[in-house]
Each structure stands twice: as C-alpha cells, then as structure tokens.
C-alpha cells in the first residue's frame, strides 16, 4: 500500500520495539499536530484498514493502564473506576488532540507511587517472618486490582518482602538492602515526576497504536533521533555511554576510537556534574536532569568543543575537561568476522547484529559509506583469500533492519531472482528481487538463527532455504515477524522546506512479506534444517505478542534451486550433529536447563518463605541465560567467542562442506 501523500521521508525498517520517552518539543501546538497526524495515518495507511473507533479505544485504555502499572502494584480499583467513563472516548480524544485522560491517569499513578514510597519506610522497619507460608503473585492476569487501601498495602508489603529476599540471595542484607530499595523506588518516583506532556503523549499514543499490531508505534523526537543514529551506525559526540545512577550521570563505557578514548583522561565510573558549550560557555549544572536532556547537551556537531565538569570515580576533586566532538562509529552494531579452524577445515564466521546503512553519508556522495552488505562483502573477500571451506552467518541476535540491505546481502549468496514478496492492504503483491548477477560466495553457507532473529533476518534465512542454497541451524523457529513497517518522519509531513520540526516519527505497519515459496514468516517464522538446544528457544515470539497479525500464504514465484540442501547432503550432517549432541555433556546440561526454565516460566506465584524461595532462586540462577550479552575482548570491542555452541556449529559447517563435496 503506497503512502497517499508525497512529502513524507520514510525508512523501510524491520526493527524491534523502541524506547518511548520523548524530549520536550518547542511548539506547544506540537501535541495537537502529532495526535492528528497519528490518527490520520492509522486510519488511512495501516495494512488492516481498521478505523480508530470504540474498540480501539477500549484496547488502548487497558494498554495504557498496563504500561503504567504492569504488576498491579500501584493503582487501586477506585483509580480505574474514576477513568472508566473514558473507555469509549479515547478514539475521539486522539482526533481532537485531547490529552485529558492520559494526564489524569498519569497524575493518579504518580500519587499512588508517592504513597507506596511513603509506605516503603514502614515496611522496611517491620520484623518480617521468613518462615510464614505466603506468596507474591508475579502474573498480573492471575490477580485483580486492589479493592481497598488495606488490600493495596498488603500487596505492596509482599512486593517489598520479595525484593528483600532477592537482595538477600545476592548477599545484600540489613541496612544495605534497605538503602538499595529506598534508592530504587525514590529514583523511580523522581523519574516519573520528570515526565512532561510530550512523554505522556508518547505513552498514550503507544497505547493507541498497540491496538493495531505489536510493531506500529509512535516514536518520540529523541528516540526518533536515536533510531536514525543506529541505522547510520555513527553519531557526533564524545563517544561514551552514560547512565543515570541515583540521579547522577555516570560514564559506564568509553567507546573505542571515540573522542573520549583518544582524550584518555575519562574512565568508566566518572561522574558528570555539568556541561558547557564552546570555550567560554557557562557550565550548566545537570544535577537531577533527565538523562536524555544531558545527552542532548553533550552531542553536537563534529569539531565543536564541549566542556565536561567531572568528578573522577572514588575521588573528590572536580575538574573541567575540554574535548572536541568527533564522529563516533558504533562498532558493536556492525558486522565482525573471523576464520576458525576445525578438523583440518577453515570456517569463516560473520556475526551480523543488524541490517544497517549510513544513508546520510551515501546521499552526500561518500564513497566509503557503511552498510551491512558492504561490511559482509569485505569479510567474504578476505575469507576467499584465506581459502575457507564454508561460511557461517550468525543472525542469532539480529532483530532486523533495512529491507534493501536484507535483499542486497542475500544477493551475495544467490545469482538473481526474487528474495521477498510484499503484499499491501489492497492485496497487491510485488516482488523485490536480487538483480545483480553472480555470487560473491558460492560455497557452503550455514545461517545461524534463534528466536531473537526477526524480520529482515527471516527474509534472508527464508531465501537461503527456498533456493536450496544453504542450511539454517538454530532454535526450532525464528521470531516470526512477517510484517513491514515504514518509519514516517512526522515533521516532514508538515514542512515543505528547511529543517522540519521535531515531531518524532510513526513506525507504521503497511505491508506483510512472504518468501519466494509463498509462505509468510508471520507467527511461524523460519524453521531450521538442524535444531540445536538453547535457552533462547524459550523466548516469546511474535505469536505471543498481543494484536499480532495472522499467518497466511500467497502463490510461489519461480526461483532457482541450487541443490545444496538435498536429503543426501543434509541428512548425514543432521544425524552426525544429533549423535554429538546426545553425547555432549554441555548440551545435556542445556537441555536440562531448558526444561527447568520452562517450568519456572509457568510459575505465577513466588513463595516468600525463605527456604522455598532460596531453592527457586538457585534454579533461576542456573537457568536465566536466555539472552546473552555481546562478548567483549580486552580492548572493549565485541568478539566472536568459541564456546560449546559455536564449536558444534563449526562441526556442522565442516560436515556440510564435506557432504557437499562428496555429493558433487
């Protein structure tokens, strides 16, 4: 479904959910404009053709309540009764630019939060009985809203007791545990009190858009800027990750190659007290300031001066540091590659965390602009010079990116032909093809996937399967996101010339995509040729998300068959892997962890008796590894770790290369 207006700048994006906080916008009328634009685009452009009506209003109300109080810890039934009259009116309110409901409920939420923080002190001074058999409900669908202040206070007591037990399991007890909880909830209250109309607007519009599908979402001005940075893989600043710790901005990571790393005098743990601009700019005290506003002060044009007032970690001296802003390359978001040897074979491994492209640099004519396809191609060229036997493309933690990159990158492994079919809201289907003749790598290829692999990753993995070009290895299925989103810059709609106002963007589901075989990856995902045990297999996929669109099929398109996945080639590889897995001590442990974690996930109540709680926590400590942080080398850069899982993948790649050779 093409957009029916001409002044919109769009990026075709296949990403995960985005942060919702927005920075303050200059024009007070922006709220009205944003709500009007979102209402218009939802009705006119969403693939469902669904109107913003009373049904949407009711879904949105519940979504907004859940967003504020997902565990049913703060609101009481009286609060919800007070806003029940708005249940069928939110559709009208968005059309009218009316934030009354959103403000009213948010104000009630903050008041309840203030009350709970006051009650916290009394609960912390209680003598808790750690032997009594009681439990804390962790599944909100299994409980109701508190009917009275007493009911709410009792629920809050159990929550605090639960938190104390969690801290005790980490050897944090006594006054230290109490102080941690005081800080935790006071900081939460402080952040909530800092919310402004634009942030309330973001939360409210997120509730409205959630009634359409899980991926249609309003993106506030600051998150929209962050999205563009991630897709470019660079920004202009000092090159440091910052975190709000108890109201203080702390440097948590120095990005290698950035301005701060070259400056050499800032360290992880240093506290930023103030920020100034230029040689003579006054230092602005940032105490208590929102982190997003601090980041905005520090970012700026390449080559300009920023002054940071720093108190070093563990020290008392305060010093002003002058640094020139520089272009920062986000290396941890780009492809990395390495050659590993196994049983006399050489396997080239490429870890690709997203499908990215620096469109700004490309538009400016920079011949060296970054893109995932270019980066992968460089590794493949290097691998060929090293005479490798097979390639492993690791998409386990790749949640998506640019569609054009997914198509172009797939073209590195096939000759020409359809990569993906796209259907719009009018049921019109068109094919997006690889039109560049030839393959950069024509040898054996293994695509490594998991439940985290979504969208653009599923397009590439599905195409490799459809063409019989290589094998897919990983979890029983990928995430199952078969929908196409355009991210629309709302400011571009209202401004024909010059710099557009910061109105944020709308990530809008306009289309669904299908494999060349005609199968959608929506809900079902891509099923691998060889399954490996992993805790990531338990991660929720698209099918578990509310309002997810349905699975369907369309006619297949003619496409080549390379014959690299014939049964006589793949079956011996699968059987050999199965035997190794069955005899492997590490994989046997993983299988047990999967079963243990599966049982833990079904628990809706946590025992508050210390003995029973300790047993449960011991199980969780062994099992909660479903998400794996990127491995870091000594210099702080992401690296490919040769663990037990990857060792098996290397053996599969080696067996696959030999099986193909024997078949030929």
Residues assigned a catalytic role: 455, 466, 481
Half-sphere exposure of residue 546, counting CA atoms within 13 Å on the CB side? 11
Work out the angle at residue 27's Cα, subtended by the Cα atoms of residues 26 and 29, and round it to the nearest 5 degrees.
150
How far apart, in Å, are the Cα atoms of 46 and each of 36, 307, 511? 15, 46, 8
Q: Residues 434, 461: contact at Cβ < 8 Å?
A: no
- What tokens were used for 62? 């519940």
CA dist 229 and 328 (Å) reads 10
CA dist 495 and 8 (Å) reads 10
End-to-end C-alpha distance for the chain, whole angstroms: 45
CA dist 196 and 501 (Å) reads 18
State the alpha helices, DSSP H only, in 428-566: 456-466, 490-494
- What tokens were used for 169? 């399991």
CA dist 154 and 131 (Å) reads 17
What b/e readout covers 386-420, taking b as 16+ CB neighbours within 10 angstroms? Answer: eebbbbbbbbbbbbbbbbbbbbbbbbbbbeebbbb
CA dist 601 and 374 (Å) reads 41
CA dist 617 and 21 (Å) reads 33
Query: How many beta carbons lie within 10 A of that of residue 246, not counting itself?
Result: 10
Nearest alpha carbon to residue 652 among 355, 446, 362: 446
CA dist 578 and 531 (Å) reads 9
Backbone angles phi, psi at 461, to 5 degrees: -60, -40
State the alpha helices, DSSP H only, in 69-99: 77-83, 90-96
Half-sphere exposure of residue 310, counting CA atoms within 13 Å on the CB side? 20
Q: Residues 131, 610: contact at Cβ < 8 Å?
A: yes
How far apart, in Å, are the Cα atoms of 284 and each of 289, 298, 313? 10, 11, 21
CA dist 35 and 40 (Å) reads 9
What's the burial of 333, exposed, middle or buried (CB within 10 Å: 0-12/13-18/19+)?
buried
CA dist 145 and 257 (Å) reads 51
């Amino acid at each position: 479904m093409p957009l029916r207006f001409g002044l919109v700048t769009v990026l075709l994006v296949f990403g995960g959910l985005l942060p919702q906080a927005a920075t303050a916008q200059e024009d007070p009328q922006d709220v009205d404009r944003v709500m009007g634009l979102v209402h218009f685009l939802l009705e006119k452009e969403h693939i469902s053709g669904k109107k913003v009506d009373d049904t949407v209003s009711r879904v949105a109300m519940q979504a907004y309540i859940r967003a504020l109080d997902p565990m049913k810890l703060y609101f009481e039934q009286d609060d919800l009764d007070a806003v029940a009259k708005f249940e069928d009116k939110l559709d009208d309110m968005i059309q009218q630019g009316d934030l009354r409901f959103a403000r009213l409920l948010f104000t009630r939420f903050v008041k309840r939060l203030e009350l709970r923080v006051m009650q916290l002190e009394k609960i912390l001074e209680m003598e808790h009985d750690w032997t009594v058999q009681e439990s804390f409900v962790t599944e909100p669908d299994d409980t109701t809203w508190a009917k009275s202040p007493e009911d709410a206070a009792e629920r809050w007591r159990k929550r605090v007791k639960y938190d104390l037990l969690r801290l005790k399991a980490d050897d944090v007890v006594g006054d230290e545990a109490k102080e941690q909880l005081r800080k935790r909830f006071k900081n939460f209250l402080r952040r909530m009190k800092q919310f402004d109309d634009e942030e309330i607007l973001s939360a409210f519009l997120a509730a409205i858009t959630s009634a359409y599908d899980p991926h249609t979402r309003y993106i506030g001005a600051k998150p929209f800027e962050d999205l563009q940075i991630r897709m470019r893989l660079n920004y202009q600043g000092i090159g440091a990750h910052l975190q709000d710790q108890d109201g203080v901005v702390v440097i948590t990571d120095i990005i290698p190659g950035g301005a701060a790393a070259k400056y050499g005098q800032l360290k992880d743990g240093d506290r930023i007290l103030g920020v100034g601009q230029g040689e003579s700019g006054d230092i602005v005290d940032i105490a208590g300031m929102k982190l997003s506003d601090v980041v905005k002060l520090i970012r700026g044009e390449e080559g300009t001066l920023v002054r940071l007032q720093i108190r070093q970690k563990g020290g008392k001296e305060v010093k002003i540091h002058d640094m020139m802003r520089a272009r920062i390359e986000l290396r941890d978001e780009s492809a990395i590659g390495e050659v590993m040897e196994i049983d006399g074979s050489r396997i080239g491994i490429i870890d690709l965390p997203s499908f990215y492209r620096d469109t700004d640099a490309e538009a400016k004519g920079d011949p060296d602009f970054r893109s995932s396809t270019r980066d992968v191609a460089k590794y493949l060229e290097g691998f060929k010079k090293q005479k490798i036997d097979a390639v492993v493309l690791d998409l386990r933690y790749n949640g998506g990116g640019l569609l054009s990159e997914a198509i172009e990158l797939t073209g590195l492994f096939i000759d020409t032909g359809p990569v993906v079919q796209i259907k719009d809201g009018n049921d019109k289907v068109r094919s997006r093809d690889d039109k560049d003749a030839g393959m950069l790598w024509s040898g054996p290829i293994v695509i490594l996937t998991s439940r985290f692999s979504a969208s653009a990753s599923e397009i590439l993995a599905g195409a490799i399967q459809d063409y019989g070009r290589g094998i897919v290895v990983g979890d029983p299925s990928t995430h199952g996101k078969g929908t196409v989103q355009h991210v629309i810059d709302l400011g571009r709609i209202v401004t024909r010339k010059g710099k557009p106002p910061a109105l944020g963007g709308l990530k809008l589901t306009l289309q669904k995509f299908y494999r060349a075989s005609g199968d959608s990856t929506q809900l079902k995902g891509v099923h691998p040729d060889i399954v490996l045990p992993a805790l990531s297999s338990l991660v929720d996929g698209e099918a578990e998300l509310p309002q997810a669109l349905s699975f369907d099929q369309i006619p297949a398109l003619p496409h080549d068959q390379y014959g690299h996945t014939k049964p006589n080639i793949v079956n011996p590889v699968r059987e050999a892997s199965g035997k190794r897995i069955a005899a492997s001590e590490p994989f046997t442990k993983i299988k047990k962890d999967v079963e243990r974690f599966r049982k833990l996930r079904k628990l809706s109540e946590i025992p508050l008796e210390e003995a029973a709680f300790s047993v449960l926590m011991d199980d969780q400590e062994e099992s909660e590894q479903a998400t794996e942080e990127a491995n870091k080398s000594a210099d702080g850069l992401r690296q490919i770790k040769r663990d037990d899982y990857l060792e098996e993948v290397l053996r599969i790649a080696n067996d696959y290369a030999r099986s193909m050779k024997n078949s030929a």
